[in-house]
Chain A
């Protein structure tokens, strides 16, 4: 009898532990022990960015003493999966999510996000540059608020020490750039031992290529928003980039390893790398280098006659529909987007401001003299287009590697095929207007 009782008890305990493990606590309004309502802010790991988010959160808490903002950061590799899981959850998810524009469509096409309030939406229409808001709109409604102007084109990190040692000045024209690049680079087999000008990584390659098309007066977006790289300008630009690899100025290592080219410059293995201004922070914080002594950030010489480039929507903020504090979350985003706070965040993160009204900001120019030259070109940018840019890059990069690796000279055919694939497979399923 005793045995029977014990076995029945054990059975109940085991079953109960299963049920308990699967349960969730009710958590509608998340209140901390001090009685404050908690807003959870999710972002990806990036030291200066997280520091800045926390600073804005502190300021917000001072103005709203009943609220506490908890900033949680996750490695970028798992971040999007976490967001997706959180959006499917009924409870206990984040209230505010920082999202990379390239990944935003997957979340926007669902109905799991809260709409941007009217007052903020009006600001987005009036004061934000077009490339910064493009992806956040679905059928005329905004679902995200940009924090930055994402520009992967326009500036390059240069290794000052290597330039000084070689007694060479920074190139000012495209021809000078290619000439310096050829002069300083050194190849050994497949591998470049010293790289000249680098733009061949997952982020920079397509951005530079599109800029090169547009600067020649060409266009890659057709009227129906389909992609066509196989234009005379597209073919010329592609031949130019392929020749950089074939001439041994750089290699495909970063593209195949999924690394950024600027790392080579910081590691004294490259002279110049085209990258967004955000990479300056990596040099000073991650590599502990000194700006002005070890490296500098200067304009990339223009390829064509007029300044033009395409940009994808960068990092922005969203509020999930399952947040129990949607109104307050939007209030936080409104606070964050306030020009005074936003410009401080952009400065802290080496980002470019997304708002037109900040293009003349003295505060920004004073704090960021090294990248203020980029502010002048921002109005020349167009939105990259309604595409899943991660998948677009996969197809584009594969085509590029094939062109570099084989003796195949049918650049036009390769561009046509890639254009068709991208249009078929990567176009966003919803309309913007």
Chain B
């Protein structure tokens, strides 16, 4: 009883914090989506489900949904494959110093502000005038391109940038996951004659399911909400909205068109998509949280 009271006391500030800064804004945003909302007005007209009906016929919204899903599926899959591969390589390095060195190198882009590195990529890598990509094309005897006039290529560039900027986290998580698997299983399989690839695929990977589930769910939820790089690379969504994602559309609708009610309806749709995807992932990747 005494212990319960203590726990309750300690938890109260966190709960208040969550209620004020997480639950209330989500609920308020949901409320706004039923209004023709302008925060500077004292009167906002109640529209009922009008904003949600508008979503159904909004061409840009559906393009943004499609692009968001493509971005998440491609980027998350690539992220997991690459980070798992890198983590495995790091785990077999002979010395602890080398492991730390490579983990640090891969982690550096994660510490850098995403807006800053996006700008560096936008002008330094992809820039029409003197960008690295165009210099490489020049070395191959090809004329330079304005990459911001492309459609799927621009989205692909943003995916590559995101992978560069973000793989460090998952490399660290997977390295810890690999190292957390008890060595006995690996050794037993080796005695039975399994090679390194077979041991990794059949022993380590299944035993890492909890790390795998955590990384997949968190990365997917995180990538659905990626915004900064899209705002830097394609603030208007790129040519024919080919790089328009839901987060950028929400920003554009609320702060360029000042249509906050509708933007909140788009945000509610994004919330539902992320929620459903997380639920499906959770079911599919039902992890066994022990090695028993």
Which of A's residues lie within 8 Å of B, judged by CB?
Answer: 4, 7-8, 11, 14-15, 18, 22, 80-81, 84, 87-88, 106-107, 109-112, 188-191, 251-253, 256-258, 269, 388, 390-391, 394, 398, 401-402, 405
Contacts and interface: CB of A to CB of B under 8 A. Distances in A.
A110 B38 contact: yes
A52 to B, nearest CB: 28
A191 B144 contact: yes
Contact of A80 (B144, B148, B240, B255): B255
A397 to B, nearest CB: 8
Given A15-B16, A111-B42, 20 more contacts: A8-B9, A11-B12, A84-B39, A84-B258, A88-B39, A106-B258, A109-B38, A110-B38, A110-B41, A112-B40, A190-B149, A253-B128, A256-B148, A256-B239, A257-B128, A269-B129, A391-B256, A394-B236, A398-B236, A402-B240
A84 B40 contact: yes
B40 A107 contact: yes
Nearest to A253: B128
Nearest to A187: B143
B39 to A, nearest CB: 4
Contacts of A11: 9-10, 12-13
A112 to B, nearest CB: 4
B57 interface: no
B235 A253 contact: no
Contact of A190 (B17, B145, B235): B145
B257 interface: yes
A191 B129 contact: yes
Nearest to A15: B13
Most buried by B among A8, A22, A110, A402: A110
A218 B83 CA distance: 61
Given A15-B16, A191-B144, A390-B256, A405 B42 contact: no
Contacts of B134: 191
Given A18-B13, A256-B148, A81 B142 contact: no
A384 to B, nearest CB: 18
Interface string B1-31: 0000010011011001100100000000000
Contacts of B39: 84, 87-88
Contacts of B129: 191, 253, 269
Contacts of A253: 128-129, 146, 148
B-side interface size class: 20 to 34
Contacts of A107: 40
Nearest to A13: B13
B143 A190 contact: yes
Contacts of B255: 80-81, 84
B291 interface: no
B12 A256 contact: no
A80 B40 CA distance: 13
B289 interface: no
6 contacts: A11-B13, A81-B255, A106-B38, A111-B41, A256-B148, A401-B239
Nearest to A425: B257
Nearest to A107: B40
B24 to A, nearest CB: 11
Interface in B29-70: 38-43
A189 B145 contact: yes
B248 to A, nearest CB: 13
Contact of A18 (B16, B239, B256): B16
Contacts of B43: 111
A401 B149 contact: yes
Contacts of B20: 18, 22
A405 B122 CA distance: 21
Sort A-B residue pairs by CB-CB distance and give the 5 closest, nearest first. Answer: A189-B143, A110-B40, A256-B148, A106-B258, A112-B40
A281 to B, nearest CB: 24
Contacts of A112: 40-42
Given A8-B9, A11-B10, A257-B148, A191 B128 contact: yes
A17 to B, nearest CB: 8
Nearest to B11: A11
A87 B146 contact: no
Contact of B142 (A106, A111, A189): A189
Nearest to B234: A256
B120 to A, nearest CB: 15
B257 A388 contact: yes
Contacts of A388: 257
Interface in B231-263: 235-236, 239-240, 255-258
A7 B6 contact: yes
B40 A88 contact: yes
A4 B10 CA distance: 11
A368 to B, nearest CB: 33
A170 to B, nearest CB: 26
Contacts of A188: 143-144
Contacts of B258: 84, 106
A113 to B, nearest CB: 8
B256 A7 contact: no
A109 B129 CA distance: 41
A36 to B, nearest CB: 29
A74 B287 CA distance: 49
A355 B9 CA distance: 66
Contacts of A390: 256
B146 A18 contact: no
Contact of A258 (B9, B235, B239): B235
Contacts of B12: 11, 15
Contacts of A258: 235
Given A88-B40, A106-B258, A398-B240, A7 B149 contact: no
A142 B102 CA distance: 63
Interface in B122-160: 128-129, 134, 142-146, 148-149
A303 B129 CA distance: 31
B10 A7 contact: yes
B146 to A, nearest CB: 4
B142 to A, nearest CB: 7
Nearest to B146: A190
Nearest to A257: B148
A217 to B, nearest CB: 33
